[in-house]
Chains A and B, each alone.
Chain A
Amino acid sequence: MSARAYGPRGPAPTLHLPDFCAARAILAVVLIVEMVAILFALARQSLQQNFWIDLASCSLFLLWLGLGCTSVLCRTRAWLQKMPVARASTIALSLLMLCVLVVSEVVYQLGQSWTFGAAGVFSLFPADHASFVLRNLGVGFIVSALALRYFYVSAEGKRNIEMAAQARIRALQARIRPHFLFNSMNTIAELTRSNPERAEQAVEDLADLFRASLSDAHTQIPLRDEFEIAKTHQRIEQLRLGSRLQVTWDIDTLPMRAQVPGLIVQPLLENAVYHGIEMLPAGGTISIVGTFRDGRIEIEVRNPIPLQHNYGEREGNRMALENIGQRLALAWPGRASIETRQEGSEFFARLVFPYTETAAAHFTS
């Protein structure tokens, strides 16, 4: 089986448009259009004879345009939002331009027929065909592009906030690990009566474990301490699972002074218990083997699993592996890796990273 790399990922962004079919949105469009019409009329007052006639013609035209574009976006919204952003924006922009063209043309033709071609006499309708339509297209293009840009940026901002919140919850769950916490609490609840001494030790172990979990993600600790945390975890699980859980440690050749990011071995042990040993009625043996050569440290955790497909793909497992991968990449960019493979009913997770005695080069430089 091929090795897997672990990294973050998220859904592809889409063009998010407000619901233009809703009454609120239509009211907003009408109000904005009226304000723009007033703006135009005020700005042009020196050119036009009658302010009110100018405002009336301007707002009538803009309302047609605004409501026309709104209805186009209302109809096409669901369809546009399924596409990639670039294509959706292009299509939306073209549709809006088409809408501007149609409305401008209709207004001009209407003006022609009502005033019997004598446009200059009655200033409510435009006189020059080509310049009128082209000017409208130009203004329409700029306004539509700005509006679409605004919708995209505000939706993107909202999405970022949501994603950050989700990431925080996941990080918290990765640290607190509810399944482990509540099962341990249940075990301790029993031990307080049947074996108070062991209960005391279990509470101390649990405290150590959570203190390690809550420490700064950037802190580096000696490899010896990391194994100590893993063994603390093993002691708590042992109380619960008894003889079903066997762990063999073959790590004597490793340089225990090596500095490593905290919690790179313990989560592997935890996964091996949660997805492997716990799911086997007879339990099994987790073996942790460390090798040290050419300045590189390799740690392999191997555990039996129930015969199932896609063990490494299961969410809880993948999350922990991605998390370790990120911390390794932070400490030794490009020089450390985590790989997993499944062989029949056995799962292997292997860490490889360089031996460093002081805090990793990434932080000292």
Chain B
Amino acid sequence: MRLLLVDDELPARDRMRRLLAEIEDCEVVAEAGTGELAIAQCAELRPDIVLLDVRMPGLSGIEVARHIDSLEDPPAVIFTTAYDQYAVEAFETEAVGYLLKPVRKEKLAHALRHASRISPTRLAKLAESARIDHRRDQICARLGEQLKLIPVADIYYFLSDQKYITVRHRNGENLIDESLKSLAEEFAGDFVRIHRNALVAEKQISAVERCDDGHYVVRIRECGVVLEVSRRHAAELLRRIRGEA
């Protein structure tokens, strides 16, 4: 079994590595101290199992799991945590593999034998009920076999069509597999909904213009794109642009 070890704390990784060395048929192919690194290593090294800490700075373990799940033939995931009441409750209800730190060797061996892939729907439920209130500062897009992280600060807007969402950002555009509704909720502070299919970074709006037929359009500062504002979202948009609460 090829394993990837993800934890932001060095002593925790040291201990896990030492325990794994005592278990047969285990090879740690890499270690990562951040979720971002873990995603890159996952795409590159294709481990069989990922041991994933829940509470990490930047991307949380559950977010990382959601991203690596979008890989072709994704690895099995076992979460580790010292204490996260809500996350543990969520793991129990969704019957997802998890280990409590300090981890016992027998429990680790058992979890490795029974590790399995977690379905995207269960991961989505986990993310919701684990209440790890941490907003992502990067969005993950899939490029063939690689995963690419896009800083939220660089994003101009999200545009959805039937199936995918296009993220337009400073360095081009990518497709992501998320819902516009959950993005709108997560980034409610900085992004504003202007249409059923469009979510725009507020600081990227250079102008709101009124057309002859009474419609509003929004001009994006850095790329000059013009997006249509729906009637339903016009009032809310104008209120926010004018700085009213």
**Which A residues lie at the B interface, using CB under 8 A?**
178-179, 181-183, 185-187, 189-191, 193-194, 239-242, 278-281, 306-309, 314
Contact = CB atoms under 8 A, between A and B. Distances in A.
8 tightest A-B CB contacts, nearest first: A190-B15, A182-B82, A189-B102, A186-B101, A186-B102, A183-B82, A178-B83, A281-B57
8 contacts: A178-B85, A179-B84, A182-B101, A185-B82, A185-B101, A186-B102, A190-B12, A241-B9
Interface-central residue, B83, B134, B189, by most chain A CB under 10 Å? B83
B10 A306 contact: no
B34 A309 contact: no
Given A189-B15, A191-B11, A193-B18, A279 B134 contact: yes
Give the size category of B's interface with A: 20 to 34
A179 B11 contact: no
B209 to A, nearest CB: 30
A64 to B, nearest CB: 50
B85 to A, nearest CB: 8
A297 B11 CA distance: 38
A186 B133 CA distance: 24
Given A240-B9, A241-B9, A279-B134, A306 B18 contact: no
A178 B101 CA distance: 12
A6 to B, nearest CB: 20
A357 B18 CA distance: 51
Interface of B: 8-12, 14-15, 18, 33-34, 36, 55, 57-58, 82-85, 100-103, 133-135, 137, 189
Contacts of B36: 281
A179 B88 CA distance: 13
B124 to A, nearest CB: 22
B14 A314 contact: no
Nearest to B135: A308
Contact of B58 (A186, A240, A281, A307): A281
B11 A187 contact: yes
A186 B83 contact: no
A240 B12 CA distance: 8
Given A179-B82, A308-B135, A280 B15 contact: no
A306 B56 CA distance: 12
Nearest to A274: B55
Given A186-B103, A281-B8, 4 more contacts: A186-B82, A240-B9, A306-B57, A309-B189
B11 A240 contact: yes
A308 B103 CA distance: 32
A240 B9 CA distance: 6
Contacts of B58: 281
A49 B237 CA distance: 84
